[in-house]
A and B are shown apart, each in its own frame.
Chain A
């Protein structure tokens, strides 16, 4: 099963330009570093603050965001189940978030057309983790700290330390879109 190369990508708070440049749509990666959670409600609030010119509760400069709303931890757990949620729901906020410095999104599902354009403009990368892998992915998270918007419950802004977190590069800096390429590669036309 291990005929595929997995690229290890380590970052402390932000991904370097070199790392981002190197990644290609379709690469399997394991991500290690600090990410901030992304949800419908928290993204809307961040974008609202940016639009109003208000200070952000946390710097987004160079940040990676992970689209996740974890379930509550059981006693003894660092975090409950914590798989990715659908990225496209938050796509309308990406131009504002990227302008504030965000350089990477981890989520699940597809992005197309206008949803992809801001990635190219700002040199950001989109990674898809596997949807419905909540119990397994929770094991790749070593800390979870609410840093803002506590009132949003599972949609609060949470800083997460992830370790060897498996994902696939979907949208790279060079205009590649792996979901579109994969579908074209595997589609069978009706005879």
Chain B
């Protein structure tokens, strides 16, 4: 049974979600920050966490962006294969939704059209990155994230070989977080993508960093690895905003995918304490 969906529905939903994502931090993250403000041993770290919580309360109450960096929009779609889009271009509808939400929500336009900066003008207004997965059924799951670049800039990808194994993955995660330090705006969320190809590992890491932080991996061994890596990341001592302390990360989220018998791609995508994401189903 084919289901028609008008792209204007998607456009309007994207516009609404991008504003909401920037005004209201996900409840799992806010709750983890409140817990961390109690648990943190460093006085300066505690004060910092209390200020972060206060900032989120102000932003939600006054309906203003939690951070001036309203990020680069990342729109992820899980589209049921029985869906038929009507009424125009799917891609343009998403772009229009991002543009409309950015304007109506007084979000900062943070996109430059030319990444090389060789063009003298900003060049174009393509406003985001879109990922589409085709799944069975006739539903559309939509996730809108606003990815700030303080943390994005500190992310990394490395191609290991099979013999390197889990110890190399762990060392790479710790090295990436340690190098990022305060610049990733800790307490951070660590998204780890393991497997697939070069680009698939990066996308897995993005999906991992956008997974709610109160959801652990369903595989018991990976769930344990997430816990072990979180403990080791927090032993780095970076602490809230790099001012020292026990709470450097709120979660380590891992996603895996089969890979080549000769390979072990690993991507680490860091998310700041303000990892803005919101999902809905059309």
Contacts and interface: CB of A to CB of B under 8 A. Distances in A.
Contacts, number: 164
A4 B68 contact: no
B47 A1 contact: yes
A42 interface: no
Given A132-B55, A136-B51, A154-B108, A186 B245 contact: yes
B237 A185 contact: yes
A48 interface: no
Nearest to A137: B55
A109 to B, nearest CB: 4
B50 A80 contact: no
Contacts of B242: 109-110, 128, 179, 182-183
A81 B65 contact: yes
B239 to A, nearest CB: 6
Contact of B64 (A1, A4, A74, A133): A74
Contact of A81 (B68, B110, B246): B68
B109 A179 contact: no
A136 B54 contact: yes
Contact of A71 (B48, B108, B236): B108
B237 A188 contact: yes
Interface residues of A, number: 48
Contact of B52 (A72, A73, A133): A133
Nearest to A168: B243
B188 to A, nearest CB: 11
A68 B110 CA distance: 13
A180 B47 CA distance: 19
B70 interface: yes
Given A80-B108, A81-B68, A186-B244, A108 B182 contact: yes
B68 A83 contact: yes
Interface in A168-191: 168, 178-179, 181-188, 190
Given A86-B183, A135-B66, 11 more contacts: A1-B47, A69-B69, A71-B106, A81-B108, A108-B150, A131-B67, A132-B67, A133-B67, A136-B58, A182-B245, A183-B238
Give the 9 A-B CB pairs with smallest separation, nearest first.
A182-B244, A186-B237, A187-B237, A109-B183, A188-B235, A135-B59, A131-B185, A71-B108, A81-B68
